[in-house]
Amino acid sequence: MIQFRNLRLARGVKTLVDGASLQIHPGWKVGLTGANGCGKSSLFGLLRGELHPDAGDLELPAAWVIAHVAQETPALPRPAIEYVLDGDAELRRIETALTAAEAAHQGEEIGHLHGRLQEIGGYAARARAAALMDGLGFGSADLERPVADFSGGWRMRLNLAQALMCRSDLLLLDEPTNHLDLDAVIWLEQWLTDYRGTLILISHDRDFLDAVVNQIAHIEGQRLTLYAGGYSDFERQRAERLSQQQALFDKQQRERAHLQKYVDRFRAKATKARQAQSRIKALERMELISAAHVDTPFSFSFRACGAAPDPLLQIEDAAAGYGAAPLLADMSLTIRPGERIGLLGRNGAGKSTLIKLLSGELAPLTGVRREGKGLALGYFAQHALERLRPDESPLQHMLRADPQTREQELRDYLGGFDFRGDGTSSAGAGATTPCGPFSGGEKSRLALALLIWGRPNLLLLDEPTNHLDLEMRHALTLALQDYEGGMVIVSHDRALLRATCDRFLLVDGGRLTPFDGDLDDYKAWLAQRRSADAAAAQCPDRAADKASRKAEREAAAADRQARLAARRPLLKELERLEKQLAPWTAEKASLDERLADPALYTGPDAGEVPKLIKRQAELADRLDAAELRWLELHEALEAIPAD
């Protein structure tokens, strides 16, 4: 097991964890949580042996194999599946040793290595690697593609697959869902649930943590505390503790009243549809969630967006894609004020393409995209982070976006996104700090702040929670609940989708259709499609086998016909010979008998003797030739089997 004894961990002059004493037993699945900068990643470095405790002890079984996700992926020319297989270090060592042993003709060593290869499942390793890649969204054509061909996000998926390929005793995962879409997240969730080793997981996805972990190790105030249960259990326990502090209790009650009002308002208009009931439950659960986040540094809301056109945006009989072939076709969608739409669909189905079409960034190949008069679009995608100016601070970005507003008002607004002061007195980024060195989460917060300030009446959000921590995700969820405009969102954060979406649309098979169900139904739909895909993947093989067997049967039939055709004249000739042989043999036997009688030579037929002798010789020649030919025909027939 992993044992912490009065452990202290610091980075420079800053103490991250102090006095930590706890045990993590084999097979436990532990979620490691805490505010940004509290020391979660440093604790991972300690477990990997890259850092050392400043005081106290960390005990870890020496024989344990530890797997983690590499943060960098070199642009390698080697095939992706070979890169994933590299995650099983023992497999690679055995393969190398086996090559050397075979070259040296070391029979005993070769046998030993093959035995070990069998023990570790080495013969099925390639199939296991292919299954991991399939679960993470790679197609069959990607298996042999060079690593260098993949973008940064897909290389991170390869790194994750490589870590999962390792037959580890301890698996350390730091934000593994950041570069995944919803179907890959659901697949990974199941994989980790089945994982038999010890897992320590850093994640900002509440639903993911709840599904995978059974312990929470929380860092707060330099203390590392272990809580039993999933993340929701931890929130409940923490909420109960915080509610005992009177200063926070009042804020908690106001937050609960705010949420209850929203729940009541939604319940009044909700139908009995499964999605509506699922959302009511999610909103009611938000009361408990909010109680655990009353000390969050984030507090913001959408500014009133004013009058909005109805409809906000329409697409009619539209097709979208890149180049001549459309990825999506025959789409019609009307977005009205106040509508909250979640887009579902498998990796590569076209969700981001649809968002780009709605935003106007991508023109329709066919059909019409029509904006309502007065549409104010707020579009968030990952490229929004790239548009930030690295040499400018959050305050400078805000002043450039709205030079008419007082600086103090902008500072107050940025404070709700935890951009305060110059950033020198806290772990967070300051309002006047250039954003170039910001983390991905800090850049996402700034991009969202700029978007929200623009008073959009239609939000298009493509994975807005990437890099955001749990506190910021919670604050964004609350803000979106109060937002009065229209919204279309793509996200792998199921807690956000449940709490903010009124209905779902499914992007699948190049079409856009309503999805009648909630996220649990979508999970079941994904499982069904995976099974169908697995069966479909086998169909070409079965079809190929069937075609091969048919071709073999046809070839065998053709061969039989050819053999029969070759045997037929031989059989006819043999039949003819046998018909001739019988009378020839009988006639010659009769002649032999007459010529052997002495009375023939003195009797009245003595003059026929020369004629009979001549006939006897002719028959003998014929019989000899016929018998020779008969033997040849039988040899030829034996060389051409009838079956």
Count of other CB atoms within 10 angstroms of residue 281: 12
Please give the average per-residue pLDDT across 38-46, as a whole number. 88
* pLDDT score for 216: 94
* Residue-wise pLDDT tens digits, 550-565: 666 766 776 777 777 7
Identify the band that residue 66 occupies on the pLDDT scale cut at 50, 70 and 90.
Answer: very high
Given a contact cutoff of 8 angstroms between Cβ atoms, the answer to whether 480 and 509 are in contact is: no
3-state secondary structure of 91: helix
Please give the average per-residue pLDDT across 116-125, as a whole number. 89
Given a contact cutoff of 8 angstroms between Cβ atoms, the answer to whether 641 and 609 are in contact is: no
348 versus 278: the higher-pLDDT residue is: 348
Identify the band that residue 366 occupies on the pLDDT scale cut at 50, 70 and 90.
Answer: very high
Please give the average per-residue pLDDT across 110-116, as a whole number. 88
Helix (H) or strand (E) holding 445: helix 440-453
* C-alpha to C-alpha distances, 399 to 304, 320, 421, 423, nearest whole angstrom: 20, 36, 16, 18
- Distance between CA 152 and CA 173 in Å, rounded? 18
**Per CATH, which fold does 2-239 belong to?**
Rossmann fold (3.40.50)
Helix (H) or strand (E) holding 369: strand 366-371
291 versus 74: the higher-pLDDT residue is: 74
* pLDDT score for 504: 93
Identify the band that residue 398 occupies on the pLDDT scale cut at 50, 70 and 90.
Answer: very high
Identify the band that residue 468 occupies on the pLDDT scale cut at 50, 70 and 90.
Answer: confident
- Distance between CA 144 and CA 430 in Å, rounded? 46
* pLDDT score for 217: 94
* pLDDT score for 133: 93
Please give the average per-residue pLDDT across 404-411, as a whole number. 91
Beta-bridged to residue 370, according to DSSP, are 314
Lowest-confidence region among 143-157, 216-230, 410-424:
410-424
* CATH fit for domain 313-517, picks 3.40.50.10490, 3.90.1150.10, 3.40.50.300, 3.30.70.100: 3.40.50.300
Identify the band that residue 643 occupies on the pLDDT scale cut at 50, 70 and 90.
Answer: low
- What tokens does 611 get? 């004629």
Identify the band that residue 38 occupies on the pLDDT scale cut at 50, 70 and 90.
Answer: confident
Residue with tokens 């590569």, as numbered in its chain: 348
User: Quick check: 283 pLDDT over 70?
Assistant: no
Amino acid at 589: A
* Residue-wise pLDDT tens digits, 211-233: 999 999 999 888 999 999 999 89
Please give the average per-residue pLDDT across 413-425, as a whole number. 77
- Distance between CA 162 and CA 150 in Å, rounded? 15
Please give the average per-residue pLDDT across 490-513, as a whole number. 91
* pLDDT score for 547: 57
Characterise 39 by phi-psi region: left (phi > 0), alpha (psi -120 to 50), beta (else).
left
* pLDDT score for 152: 81
Strand order in the sheet with 2-11: 14-24, 2-11, 55-59
Nearest residue to 506 via CA among 322, 335, 339, 354: 354
CA angle in degrees (0–180, nearest 5) for 618-620-623: 110
* pLDDT score for 425: 45
599 versus 193: the higher-pLDDT residue is: 193
Indicate the pTM of the whole model: 0.71
Domain boundaries, the chain: 2-239, 246-291, 313-517, 528-639
* pLDDT score for 284: 64
* Residue-wise pLDDT tens digits, 524-555: 888 888 877 767 666 555 545 555 566 667 66
The beta strands (E) that lie in 203-325 are given as: 215-220, 223-228, 313-321
Count of other CB atoms within 10 angstroms of residue 305: 19
- What tokens does 279 get? 């959302």
Nearest residue to 442 via CA among 401, 488, 388: 388
**Highest-confidence range of 117-126, 240-249, 263-272, 598-607, by mean pLDDT?**
117-126
* pLDDT score for 171: 95
Identify the band that residue 426 occupies on the pLDDT scale cut at 50, 70 and 90.
Answer: very low
310 versus 557: the higher-pLDDT residue is: 310
Domains 2-239 and 313-517 share a fold: yes
Helix H segments across 483-608? 494-500, 519-595, 599-602
Identify the band that residue 258 occupies on the pLDDT scale cut at 50, 70 and 90.
Answer: low
Percentage of residues in the chain having pLDDT higher than 90: 35
Please give the average per-residue pLDDT across 30-36, as a whole number. 88
* pLDDT score for 367: 92
